[in-house]
Amino acid sequence: MKDGIIDLLNEKKAFDIVEFDLSGRSERLSDACIIATGTSARHLRSVADCIYRYMKNNWHSSRIEGRAESGWVIVESNGVEVHLFKPEFREYYALEELYTR
């Protein structure tokens, strides 16, 4: 399923896509985390909606947290979280540093 999400992110022109396998970490909240960047609030909204529908169709439950206008949207389902950022917010929050510790 994660490969399908990454394929969708590429199709929707999200960029700087990274994936973290969190399954071996004791403090994990999810099994996997995918981070990607979008170009604008409209782009984030479109990508988040597409990922949401994909998760809902494959896992029957998913949810979206945040608003595209805020610059950070999270789509979650079945142990996979997808963080979508506008570039300046991705740099500011630097989640990659958190997951590589």
State the alpha helices, DSSP H only, in the chain: 2-11, 41-59, 87-93, 95-99
CB neighbourhood size of 70 (10 A): 12
- CATH, residue 95: 3.30.460.10
Q: How many domains does the chain have?
A: 1
Q: Residue 10's domain spans which residues?
A: 2-99
Calpha distance 87→71 (Å, rounded): 8
Do 30 and 51 meet the contact criterion of CB atoms below 8 Å apart? no
Burial class (CB in 10 A: 0-12, 13-18, 19+), 98: exposed
Q: How sure is the predictor about 85, in pLDDT bands with cuts at 50, 70 and 90? A: very high
Q: Residues 49-73: pLDDT tens digits?
A: 999 999 999 988 899 999 999 999 9
Give the mean pLDDT of 27-43: 88
